[in-house]
Amino acid sequence: MSQPISFLTQSLEKTTLTAVSASPNNSYNARSLSIPSLKPTKTLKPFSTGDVKILLLENVNQTAINIFEKQGYQIEFHKTSLPEDELIEKIKDVHAIGIRSKTKLTKNVLKHAKNLVVIGCFCIGTNQVDLEYAADQGVAVFNSPFSNSRSVAEMTIAEIITLSRQMGDRSIELHQGIWNKVSAKCWEIRGKTLGIIGYGHIGSQLSVLAEAFGMNVLYYDVLMIMALGTAKQVSTLEELLNKSDFVSLHVPETPDTKLMFGTPQFAAMKDGSYLINNSRGSVVEIPALIDALKLGKLAGAAIDVYPQEPAKNGPFFNNELNSWTSELQSLKNIILTPHIGGSTEEAQSAIGIEVGSALTSYINEGTSTGAVNFPEVALRGLDLDQDNAVRVLYIHQNVPGVLKTVNNILSDHNIEKQFSDSRGDVAYLMADISGVTSEDIKSLYEELNATQYKIAVRLLY
């Protein structure tokens, strides 16, 4: 192959054509399902990595920046989220964007992203992204579902102890010069029952930590999940609420979990129990929580997430944001934290590595393993001795006859390996073909781009 083709990114009417280098790749991507090869493999990588533009918002961790800098990508970094009009302007030309929980990538924003290939959510949740619209445009979305699980579980244990001993109130009093040494209604957590709603990665880790403190653990989940330690799964949410001294929420944001915790659920809880919400702000009906605390039904609560949260740090948590804010702030034995469950150095470092590696792998190799809105497809790397080989990445509408059409286009070349999968209305084909000359590449690109049900195409060589 003589002249490399520059890195272009297009979707729907616009198609991505990517040239790649052929240097050895010794890196390991833990998320990849590629079959290990005994031979050294080529690095599938844009020939001119300087053409790849990445926008990073909300102070994404330095570990991710290091990964992107090593690739030679152009990086624009901001410590905060951006107003929608500025975000729309910034996103027009970038190939990848990295965000955390505050940036909203709605359809209105994404429709301006003409070159966007991939989105990285450097957090657990992805509800801030219009996942379906992104998939329909051929944009894969990655997150980090595991990396901050320990951080959230540890904070929950700290909150359980703090609430049980009323340490938050005593600390506030002493800061005000008030000495109030009391033991009334202050309890050890040993022997108490913790009810965990949602026994996933965080809930199960919390279960293990709680047992180490001598607590009894019950959990409720919509799925049957094997217990860790001596924890017991209960069949109904009501049973968990009736029996638990502490109730901790660890569920995702879905239509089923929105406002799942309101007046009936508080009524079902034990008198003098505690609620902890480190999951999503939409899960708890805050006015009902305020009533339960005022009436003495609950002895305390810890809240880390809210229906509306400020876009940046500063004096913005007030009644203009949520009408009940000042009333919530006035209550006794309630811990209010600014969505910091996963905000530890260890968690953010691990998230940066996990999501940064996933984005790089998708840009350079087409590997979509771990994508939350997209078919998960991966192939083992190309061998170093495979000259004139091209990797075809073809995203298309999931309708009959597409693969027949594509394979007819590829039929003049030897298909070394191929994998296709679908998710909803979107399908993704990855194929390595050999015997491709530089003259063939333009022809392949034009033919694939002209197919009826194409969403996006990339060629890596």
Q: Out of 95, 201, 339, 396, pick the active-site residue.
A: 339
Instruction: Please tell me which residue in 154, 211, 238, 309 is annotated as part of the active site.
Output: 309
Alpha-helical regions (H) of 286-423: 286-294, 325-329, 345-365, 402-410
Q: What angle do CA 169, 173, 178 make, to 5 degrees?
A: 145
Token pair for 180: 């109030």
- CA-to-CA distance for 130 and 112, rounded, in angstroms? 14
Q: Does residue 386 sit in helix, strand or coil?
A: coil
Residue 272 dihedral angles phi and psi, to the nearest 5° = 80, 15
376 noted as active-site residue = no
| Residue 451 to residue 461: CA distance in whole angstroms | 21
> Is 380 one of the annotated active-site residues of the chain?
no
- Residue carrying the six token digits 């957090």: 123
CA dihedral 300, 305, 311, 313 (to 10 degrees): 50
Q: Is 100 a catalytic residue?
A: no
Query: How crowded is the C-beta side of 96, counted as CA atoms within 13 Å?
Result: 31
Of these residues, 100, 280, 391, 458, which one is catalytic? 280
Ordered strands of the 193-197 beta sheet: 232-233, 216-220, 193-197, 246-249, 273-277, 298-303, 334-336
Residues catalogued as catalytic: 280, 309, 339
